[in-house]
Amino acid sequence: MADGILLEKVELKLGTKEFRFDCAIPAGTVTAMTGPSGSGKTTLLNLIAGFETADSGSIRIAGDDVSRKHPSERPISLVFQDNNLFAHLDLFTNIGLGISPSLKLSPEDRKSISQALERVGLGGFEKRMPGTLSGGERQRSAFARALVRKKPVLLMDEPFAALDPGLRLSMANLLLELHKETGNTVLIVTHDPDEVSRLADHALFIDHGRILLQAQAGEFLARRDIPALTEFLSG
């Protein structure tokens, strides 16, 4: 447990909205995070990633208190729904920036970039510009960057939402393979109950800035005593 993500009495007020999170996300697992729009999923993600700073409480990653740390100092890789790549830089540079923000790359680093691209099925795409890629290819590149960063935690904010269903399936499989290879801790925000069952070991349900339920994926999907969750699962 100490290796995972631990949120203790994390409180945050944004405008009129109040958030309060308390949870432990076990290391080496895939945890799905669901909930209605505006419930606080992205806020929770932003808190862990460091884009929001909590008013009180603490956030620990692998036992280390990161509450006051800048996003770049947290052991985290990120995949957003969109704008994962700098549109004016080629894939090699985009991924290279994941290793070294000043792009100081050793020969091994360069090799690992090519290997990561190979691994996500984009071998030889080093010089391609993001604008020439399909949506799926752009998300794969983001995975490749997560691979080379070798961070223990991967946060994903609806990474497949913009993709068509067939593509989602293959991307999910790719994600699982990578997860097995690296053994990282994955936290993924999703709107899709199928994705929960397909990907996740655990699941969180968030509503009105609170975590209403945290359970094993199987149990989560079977719960019918929380109206909001029932609505979500059936919708």
Partner 1 sequence: MLTGAERRRGIGYGVGSLVGITLFVGIAVAALFSWDAGTASGRLFTAYTWRILQFTLWQAALSTLLSVTLALPVAMALARRPGFPGRIWIIRLMALPMGLPVLIGALGLIGIWGRQGIINSLMLKIGVEQPVSIYGLSGILLAHVFFNLPLAARLLLAALERQPAEYWLLSSSLGMKPLSVFRFIEWPAARRVMPGIAGLIFMLCATSFTLVLVLGGGPAATTLEVAIYQSLRFDFDPPRAIALAFLQIGITAAILIGISLFPNADDAGAIAGRVTRRFDGRTIGTGIWDTLAILLATLFLILPLSSIVFAGMCANLWSLLTSPAFLRAAWTSFTIAITAGLLTILISLAIISAREAIADMKRPGRTARGFSALLGGMSSLVLLVPPVVLGTGWFLMVRPFGDVARFAPLLVAIINMLMALPFVMRVLSPAVETHRRRTARLSASLGISGISKLWRIDLPILARPLLTALSFAMALSLGDLGAVALFGSSDLTTLPWLVYSRLSSYRTNDADGLALILGVICLMLTMLGTAGQREAKHG
Beta bridge partners of 10: 21
Tell me: does residue 161 bind partner 1 (CB under 8 A). Answer: no
Q: How near is the Cβ of 229 to partner 1 at its closest, in Å?
A: 29
Measured CA to CA, the distance from residue 30 to residue 200 in angstroms comes to 5
Q: For residues 10 and 203, which CB has a smaller minimum distance to partner 1 in the complex?
A: 10
Chain positions 62 to 101 lying near partner 1, rule: CB under 8 A, are 70-73, 76-78, 80, 82-84, 86-89, 93, 97-98, 101
| Residue closer to partner 1, measured from CB, 138 or 179 | 138
68 versus 194: smaller Cβ distance to partner 1: 68
- The least CB distance from residue 123 to partner 1, in Å, is 23
Q: CB of residue 16 vs partner 1: minimum separation in angstroms?
A: 13
Binding status of residue 2 toward partner 1 by CB under 8 A: no
Asked if 136 touches partner 1 (CB under 8 A), the answer is no
The minimum distance between CB 101 and partner 1, in angstroms, equals 4
Q: Does 51 bind partner 1 (CB under 8 A)?
A: yes
Cα 115 to Cα 206: distance, rounded to the nearest angstrom: 37
DSSP the chain: -TTSEEEEEEEEEETTEEEEEEEEE-TT-EEEEE-STTSSHHHHHHHHHTSS--SEEEEEETTEE-TT--GGGSSEEEE-SS--S-TTS-HHHHHHHHH-TT----HHHHHHHHHHHHHTT-TT-TT--GGGS-HHHHHHHHHHHHHHHT-SEEEEESTTTTS-HHHHHHHHHHHHHHHHHH--EEEEE-S-HHHHHHH-SEEEEEETTEEEEEEEHHHHHH--S-HHHHHHHH-
Pick 53 or 230: Cβ nearer partner 1:
53
156 belongs to the binding site for partner 1 (CB under 8 A):
no
In the list 2, 103, 150, 230, the residue contacting partner 1 (rule: CB under 8 A) is 103
Candidates 10, 32, 44, 49: give the one binding partner 1 (CB under 8 A): 49
Residues that bind partner 1 in the complex, under the rule CB under 8 A: 49-53, 70-73, 76-78, 80, 82-84, 86-89, 93, 97-98, 101-103, 130-131
